[in-house]
Amino acid sequence: MDPQNIHRCFAALRVAIPEPKTELNYDSPFQLLVAVVLSAQSTDKAVNACTRTLFAAAPTPEAMVILGEDGIKAHIHRLGLFNAKARHVHALSRQLLALHDGEVPADRKALEALPGVGRKTANVVLNTEFGQPTIAVDTHIFRVGNRTGIAPGKTPLAVEQALLAAVPAEYRQDAHHLLILHGRYTCTARRPHCGHCPIFPCCEWPDKHRWAAESSPGGA
C-alpha cells in the first residue's frame, strides 16, 4: 500500500476511534503486565472479569507471591491455559522482587527474560507504560495488517516491522491502539463489518465488497 493511502487509513481510524477507552485502568505497570500475560488466547472480557478480583486480592508483586500459585488459580480458573498462566504470574512476581526491586523494567531484554513474557507482551508494556512507539502484533493486528494491505507479512514480526516502516510518525504512538480496536470491533476475524468500516475507501482487501453488502446498515 502506498504511503499516502496508509496515511488516509490512520486519519480515518483516529476519527472513528477517538478515546483511549481503556475498559479497565490498571494501577501500575505490574498490573498491566499481569493482565497482558493472562490475555494470551483469551478474550478481553474474560481477562477483565478476573483481573478485577485478582488485583483486589493482590495488587503488588509482594502480595501476588503471598497469594501463591493456587490462590492465583482461584481467580483465573475460568481462563483458558489457566494452569500455565498462574505459574507464570507467580514466578514472574518473584523474579521482579528478586532481580528488579519489585519494579517492572522499562527494558525489552529484561522484560522478555521474565516467565511468560515474549515479544508481544513486552511491546504492550513498553508502549502502554513507558511511552515507547512499539507495536505489539497480536492476532487482531496481524489480521488487519494483512487483510487491509497496510502491513502485509507472513509472521507477526514481519508485520511489526512493516508497520514500523509504514506508519506515519504522527500516528506511531497510537497505531497499536487504533489497529487493535479496529480488529476487535470492525475488521473481525469471521465476519468483518465492511458495511460500516471507517477505512473502507482505502482498504485493499479484494473481498471487502462481498462483506459490505451483508454488514451495511440496512442490509442483512
Partner DNA sequence: ATCCCGAGGG
Partner DNA sequence: CCCTCTGGAT
Q: Is 184 in the site for DNA (CB under 7 A)?
A: yes
Q: Is 216 in the site for DNA (CB under 7 A)?
A: no
C-alpha cell recorded at residue 112: 522478555
Give the interface segment with DNA, choosing from 93-101, 116-124, 144-152, 159-167 (CB under 7 A). Answer: 116-124
Sign of the alpha-carbon dihedral angle for 121, 127, 133, 136: positive
Q: How far apart are CA 76 and CA 162, in angstroms?
A: 35
C-alpha cell recorded at residue 141: 493486528
| Residue that has been written with the C-alpha cell 453488502 in this structure | 213
Residue from 15, 41, 109, 165 that binds DNA (CB under 7 A)?
Answer: 41
User: Which of 138, 174, 207, 208 is the catalytic position?
Assistant: 138
Q: What's CA 32's distance to the chain center, in Å?
A: 11
3-state SS class at 64: helix
3-state SS class at 58: coil
What is the x/- site pattern for DNA, positions 134-173, by CB under 7 A? --x-xxx--x------------------------------
Give the interface segment with DNA, choosing from 5-13, 57-65, 77-85, 197-205 (CB under 7 A). Answer: 77-85
Identify residue 40 by its one-letter amino acid code.
Answer: A
Residues at the interface with DNA (CB under 7 A)? 36-37, 39-44, 46, 77-84, 112, 114-122, 124, 136, 138-140, 143, 180, 184, 189-191
Active site residues: 120, 138
